Structure 1
Amino acid sequence: MTATDGFAVVRADSEFKLVALRDFPAGSRLFAVEGQITEEPTRYSVQVGAGIHLDLPGGHAPEELMDRFFWRFTNHSCAPNAQLRGRDFFALRPIEPWQEITFHYESTEYEMAEPFDCHCGESACRGRIEGFRYRTEDEREQLRPMLADHLLSMLNVVHR
């Protein structure tokens, strides 16, 4: 386990995940995302703008990845407890110690570099996660409250 400012990367059931080590009230800033700016999505990048992705820079030891780039272990959920605004994650609802930090990948990613079948177990599970591009208009509207600015602006253009 590696702790950084109230968070830990843990391995459970052969998967890594990011968990909170303390309480975070709804609306509180959790952490910033930093990395190397790229134009193309990768398996570990996060989209922070139109055609702008932050990825893990190469050449780092596993310990540094867990300490400095711990955001990379923020997993997907169709009913997340966090959202990305700009380059900062915020709590969508109260988060308790040892609760996993999750966000909805399609709230930031226009098109996933590696689409996958979701197994989050939530009643609102969307099944196949491919990116915002592949969602219906109704599904996009459901994502509106947690959409990153670059996707929100696309949604607003459609509704004009």
Structure 2
Amino acid sequence: MTATNARDGFAVVRAGGEFRLVAQREFSTGSRLFAVDGHLTETPTRYSVQVGAEIHLDLPGGHAPEEMMDRFFWRFTNHSCAPNAQLRGREFFALRPIEPWQEITFHYDTTEYEMAEPFDCRCGEESCFGRIQGFKFRTAAERELLRPMLADHLLAMVNVVHR
């Protein structure tokens, strides 16, 4: 599986002291944005993304900053409680239209069962969930709100509970 690089529609920018992944062109709702690749591990880290029941995708060590921003640019996809993208399998898709230079975001609680490093959200959205620490800690009502965006491994868990 080859990953899209930053020259193929995405750029990593630094704004307000933080790195962000932004679109360089327009994407329509449902568009495939990019695939994620990296090192598979059972141990979550601050920068990993959960892609299976006990499988996390992380960055292998020893990469130059340029490679991190080109090959592993997905690592700069930040959290939002009102995201414009979702992770399905190992690919990101647009949840709504994305304009050029708009930041690409996803809701971390839709992939992570339990965060390695929980944090207080600062997204500023009216629907902000506050503390982001993983799907495990969401209320039943919050889990239902997240259901349409859930990664397959969390959706399978929710479906087992509802049977």
TM-score in terms of structure 2 length: 0.96
What is the aligned-residue identity percentage? 81
> Which aligned segments of 4 or more residues in structure 1 are displaced greater than 3 angstroms?
none
Aligned to 1:57: 60
The 8 Å contact of residues 6 and 71 in structure 2, kept in 1 or not, is answered as no
2:137 maps to 1:134? yes
Aligned to 1:6: 9
- Take 2:112 and 2:128, find their aligned partners in 1: how far apart are those partners? 17
2:82 maps to 1:69? no
Query: What's the offset of the Cα at 1:49?
Result: 0.5
Structure 1 unaligned regions, length at least 5: none
- How many pairs were matched up? 159
1:50-70 CA deviation, whole Å, 9 max, x = no partner?
000000000000010000000
Query: What's the offset of the Cα at 1:150?
Result: 0.3
TM-score in terms of structure 1 length: 0.98
- Take 2:50 and 2:36, find their aligned partners in 1: how far apart are those partners? 10
1:41 corresponds to which of 27, 41, 44: 44
- Take 2:123 and 2:42, find their aligned partners in 1: how far apart are those partners? 29
Matches within 5 A, 1:1-160: 3-160=6-163
Structure 2 unaligned regions, length at least 5: none
Query: What's the offset of the Cα at 1:32?
Result: 0.2
